[in-house]
Chain A
C-alpha cells in the first residue's frame, strides 16, 4: 500500500488545538493559527525532553504515593492506616475480588502502563525507529485516553472520609499519600499531553 505524503513533506502544518491546516509559509510568517490563534508547531518544541521530565517526576512521586498511607480509619477495634495497595488487598480478602481488580487496574496497572508506554515511545522516537509506527501511534492514543481513570482511588478516599464520620461506628481521615497519588496522576497526564505523536513518523527513512 502506498501512503499519501505527509503534510509536512507537502508544505502544510495542522493546528494541534483546532485542526485547521495552514501552509508552512503562513505558519512561518504568522506563527499562529489563522482560525484559533494558537501557536503553530511543525513539531512541539522540546516535546521529548518535556515528556521525559514529567515522566521522571511522575515516577519519583509514585514511590511516596504507594509507601505513605492514603487513609486512616478509626474503628471500634482501633485505628489503622491504609495504603493504596493494602486497600486493594483488603477488598480481595473480603471477597470483593471484582472491586479489587477495578482499583488495581486504575491505581497500579494504568500508571505503570503509562510509564512503560511513554518510556518505550520516547526511546523508539529517539532512535528514529521504523518499527510499528502505526501501532505506536495507537499506543499513544490509548495512553492518552486511559490516564485520567487513575483518579478513581482519590475519589473513593474522598467519599469515604466524607461519609465515614460516626463516633460510634468509625471515622476515616485522608493521609498525605493521597496528595502524592494525585500528583502522579497529574504529572503523568501532562507527560502524555507533552508528547507530540508526530515524532513517531520522523524516522530515518522519512528524512530520506
Chain B
C-alpha cells in the first residue's frame, strides 16, 4: 500500500516490495500527445496502404505489407494464423490509435469523451496484443533472408513502420492508467 506521491520532472515511483513502476512524471503534455497520436495515425495509414517490402524480378513485382502478409496465409487450414496476424498487427494498433484520438480530441476541448471508462479499459487490455514492432523486426529479417536470392527493396511502408514504432514507444510510456486524470471532472 502506497500513498500517492507528487513527482517532479524525470522522477519515477517504484513499489517498495517488488520495484514495479507505479508512477511517472508526465513530461509530454496533452497537446504534444495529441500531435504524436495524429502522426501515428498518418504513419499507420501509410504503412497499411504502401508496400513495406517489394521485389522486382524478371518484370514481375511482388509487394507486401501488413495486409498482404496476412492475406498470403489466408488459405485453407492456415487461416487461423492469418486471423491472429491481422488482429495483432492491424486491428489492435488501429483501435489503439483510434481510441486514443477519440479521448484526446474531446480532452483538448476540456470534455470527457463519451464512453471514457470503457475506452480506457479497452486500451488497457489491448496493449499487450499490439505487435507493430514485432512486424517491423520480422520485415527486416524477411528482407535479409530473401536478399540471398533476389534484390528486396524497402518501400515507403517500411519507413512509416519505423516512425510508427518510435511514436508508439513514446506513447507507450504512458500507461493507459495515467489517462484517467485526463479532463478530470471537477469534484463537487
Binding site for B on A (CB under 8 A): 3-7, 10, 12, 17-20, 35-38, 91, 94, 96, 99, 102-103, 133-134, 137-138, 141, 144, 147-149, 151-166, 168-170, 173-176, 178-179, 181-183, 185-186, 189, 193, 197, 201
Contacts and interface: CB of A to CB of B under 8 A. Distances in A.
A19 B21 CA distance: 12
Interface string B1-31: 1100000000000001111100000000000
Given A160-B145, A174-B78, A36 B19 contact: no
Given A155-B135, A158-B85, A91 B145 contact: yes
Nearest to A151: B134
Interface of B: 1-2, 16-20, 52-55, 57-58, 60, 62-64, 68-73, 75, 77-78, 80-82, 84-85, 88-89, 117, 120-121, 124-125, 128-129, 131, 134-135, 137-139, 141-142, 144-146, 148-150, 152, 176-177, 180
A7 B141 contact: no
Given A137-B18, A155-B139, A165 B62 contact: yes
A139 B177 CA distance: 22
Contacts of A179: 77-78, 80-81
Contacts of A176: 77-78
30 contacts: A4-B16, A5-B1, A6-B1, A12-B1, A17-B121, A18-B180, A19-B180, A35-B117, A35-B180, A91-B145, A102-B141, A144-B128, A148-B88, A148-B128, A151-B131, A152-B138, A155-B85, A159-B64, A159-B72, A162-B69, A162-B72, A163-B63, A163-B152, A164-B55, A164-B62, A165-B62, A174-B75, A181-B81, A183-B80, A185-B84
Given A18-B124, A155-B142, A94 B81 contact: no
A68 B114 CA distance: 48
A4 B73 contact: no
Given A141-B20, A148-B131, A148-B134, A163 B57 contact: no
B26 to A, nearest CB: 15
Given A154-B84, A155-B69, A163-B53, 7 more contacts: A19-B177, A91-B145, A151-B134, A159-B72, A168-B58, A179-B77, A201-B17
A181 B85 CA distance: 12
A4 B18 CA distance: 12
A99 B143 CA distance: 11
A185 B84 CA distance: 10
Contacts, number: 172
Contacts of A4: 1-2, 16
B62 A162 contact: yes
Contact of A186 (B72, B84, B134, B146): B84
A45 to B, nearest CB: 17
A23 to B, nearest CB: 12
A99 B144 contact: yes
A159 B139 contact: yes
A185 B129 CA distance: 11
Interface core residue of B71, B121, B141, B150 (most chain A CB under 10 Å): B141
Given A19-B177, A152-B141, A169 B57 contact: yes
Contacts of A168: 57-58
B81 A154 contact: yes
Given A10-B1, A162-B68, A174-B72, A156 B141 contact: yes
A35 B81 CA distance: 36
Nearest to A1: B16
A201 B17 CA distance: 10
Contacts of A35: 117, 180
Interface core residue of A19, A103, A141 (most chain B CB under 10 Å): A19
